[in-house]
Amino acid sequence: MTRTHRPRLAAASLAALVALSLGACSGEEESPEPDAGPSLSDPSAAPTLEVEPVVRAGEVVGRLTKGDRTRIVEAVSGVAVRYLDAAFLAGDYPRQGGFQSALAAFAPGTAKVARGDLGLLTNAGIAPRVDEVTPAQLGVTVDVLAVREHASAATAHVKLVFKTAGDVAQRVQVQGRLMMTKADGRWQVFAYHLSKGAR
């Protein structure tokens, strides 16, 4: 059986969610910070999901303009959502492979380590025995470290819950953190601390 993505979440709506969640954060003067991270307002870069991600700004340590907060939370959460989608939700199940591409936003050294954990960091271990994946919950909360009004680092606290059907039928929860810094102007995962549980 093949799971088909339904375009429940347009990129613009995720951006709107981010903006709403940040609405009360700041009354500071706005001056945009250049941020070349993947933009979720670019539909070609944004995944379409069956569940609406709940994106929030967590702790912003240091000063950032309201506009920058929105852009950075959007960019960082976008990296996290794209990873989670590619690792656990996307693709045609029973899925035979292609999971390494989920690590596209990981720093090279981290991706090398992560490839050894692919069974935990993706559905690689169960994908051939799964007919369908149905997401139930996806949340991302973004902490930001800002120095001299520029975002230097961020932590995406993620939680994903989905159900699988087929030979492997279970409820899976993925939870933890993706730590990111910028490389070549893009947010990149340099460390992860994730747990996956199933029942």
Partner 1 sequence: MSRVLPLLRRLLPLALVLGVVGMTVPDSAVRPTEISLVKLRGAEGVDVGDDVIWILAVGSDARPGEDMTRSRGDAIQLVGLNTRTGAASAIGIPRDSWVPIAGHGSNRVNAALYFGGPQLFGRTVGNLVGVQPDYVMVTRFPFFENMVNDIGGIYVDNPRPFADQYLKPKAFPKGHIKLNGYSAMAFSRIRKSLPGGDFDRSANQQRVLRGIQARIATRSDQPGFIERGVMSVMRNMDTDLAPSELFQIAHAVAQVDPRKIRSCVVQGSFGTIGGASIIFPNVAQARRYGDAARSDATLGPC
Q: Residues interacting with partner 1, by CB under 8 A?
A: 58-59, 61-62, 107-110, 112-114, 117, 120-121, 141, 143-145, 147, 152-153, 155, 157, 173, 175-177, 179, 181-183, 190-199
Nearer to partner 1, 54 or 107 (CB): 107
- Please report which helix (H) or strand (E) contains residue 70, including its range: helix 66-84
Closer residue to partner 1 (CB): 54 or 145? 145
Q: Is 130 left (phi over 0), alpha (psi -120 to 50) or beta?
A: beta
What is the smallest separation between the CB atom of 190 and partner 1, expressed in angstroms? Answer: 6
Contacts of 175 (CB under 8 A, 6+ apart): 158, 159, 160, 194, 195, 197
In the complex, least distance from residue 172 CB atom to partner 1, rounded to whole angstroms: 9
How far apart CA 15 and CA 57 sit, in angstroms, is 12
Closest approach, Cβ 115 to partner 1, in A, equals 10
CB of 179 to partner 1, least distance (A): 5
* Sign of the C-alpha dihedral computed for residues 73, 79, 81 and 84 taken in this order: negative
